Copies of this chain bind each other. A is one copy, B any other.
Amino acid sequence: MSYEPSPEDHFTFGLWTVGNRGRDPFGHETRPALDPVESVQRLGGLGAYGVSFHDDDLIPPGSSASQREDILKRFRAALDETGMRVPMSTTNLFSHPVFKDGAFTANDPKIRRHALRKTLNAIDLGAELGASVFVMWGGREGVESDAAKDIPAALDCYAEAVNACCAYITERGYEMEIALEPKPNEPRGNLLLPTVGHALAFIHELEFPEMVGLNPEFAHETMSGLSFHHAVAQVLWADKLFHIDLNGQVPGKYDQDFRFGSEGVKDAFYLVKLLEDSEWDGMRHFDAHAYRTENVDGVWDFARGCMRTYLILKEKAERFAEDADIQEALAAAKVDQLSLPTLPEDGEDRFTKLRKETVDIDALAAVGWGHERLDQLVTELLLGTR
């Protein structure tokens, strides 16, 4: 197989990902700035479906209205020329010092209002370019010193802001949904909505819960040592997977945003299998960047690698379904019997019936479930020896 991506694969990249300049907490930029138009052209050439952006990635802060129009005109031309789309957009509420105490949950209402204004503008920008998903990552919604933030009040403010954006989208008639992106920490000591679970629960306290879903990120869930595959499965189960951020990450470390599949390849495999098995039709969005050691050539190697690894894992997911030994091991582990109802009996006497049943517990306890064999088969599938 060639593992050559095509637009049908729905691969997208943030402008900030290929445009990442290699700055980190201890080092200066190692790569020049990339023109968004070049990013669109190069990614289109590599087989991507589209790009996403923060408002500031496309329209530099302080641009005049006419500058904005010139940028958009040129950007649209590149999209038209390449057939690339903008399925998602977002806003940067974390870089400017004004957000140092939070944006939607800054203690000062003037800052919260500024954040909301900036977000409404970013929603307009996304809508103009056809984005159907608006991502919200609250990169500054958190705290280092717990005394400085009343958490329930902060959650109220957070909800108020999301509610306002939903109302705005509705009033404007945009075809747009909101996807919350959880993260446990960094750049703040602790962030609000730290995991997929916390963000998913938060949706239920909102005014327009049907408009709001999730944008889970591999690196963010993995930082806490949690299974990303399990988290996404729960989101799919709750019908709230609106978008997804794919990358690579080692547990318990700083936010690495490595190339997809470069770290955590087993979890990545089960994730790809889950997305493909469930026929999820959203964007496979890479929120990652090239190592700081790379020049611009390395950036395109990085982008190519993300997509290739996805396709390789997708092929393995298909072979998983066709592998007779794996299927036999799945049957031995009774994986399919998890779909049977536990209590198929109906009616008021169902508990009585259940209680009357006797079962040989010790015999059941003695059964071996064959997970070692099964896991080894999958390991060898992953390693390409079967």
Contacts and interface: CB of A to CB of B under 8 A. Distances in A.
Interface string A133-170: 00000011000111111111111110011001000100
Nearest to A253: B185
Number of copies of this chain that the complex holds: 4
Contact of A371 (B145, B201, B309, B385): B145
Contact of A369 (B293, B304, B376): B293
B153 A226 contact: no
A46 interface: no
A100 to B, nearest CB: 5
Contact of A383 (B330, B341, B365, B383): B383
A144 B359 contact: no
A108 B307 CA distance: 31
Interface string A262-296: 11011100100010001000000000001111111
Given A28-B97, A152-B233, A189-B256, A147 B374 contact: yes
Contact of A110 (B227, B253, B359): B359
Nearest to A104: B342
Interface in A161-188: 161, 164, 168, 171, 182, 184-187
23 contacts: A25-B255, A97-B365, A97-B366, A110-B359, A112-B342, A114-B364, A144-B371, A144-B375, A147-B371, A148-B293, A168-B351, A171-B351, A187-B292, A200-B201, A201-B204, A201-B234, A204-B238, A205-B237, A224-B224, A263-B266, A297-B368, A305-B375, A312-B383
Interface in A328-371: 329-330, 333-335, 337-343, 348, 351, 354-355, 357, 359, 361-362, 364-371
Given A28-B97, A107-B335, A201-B203, 15 more contacts: A96-B361, A98-B361, A107-B369, A113-B342, A117-B354, A145-B378, A155-B234, A160-B343, A193-B197, A194-B195, A201-B238, A254-B254, A263-B266, A265-B383, A293-B369
Contacts of A81: none
Interface in A214-265: 223-227, 229-231, 233-234, 236-238, 250-256, 258-259, 261-263, 265
A30 B140 CA distance: 14
Contact of A364 (B108, B154, B229): B108
Contacts of A251: 225, 250-252
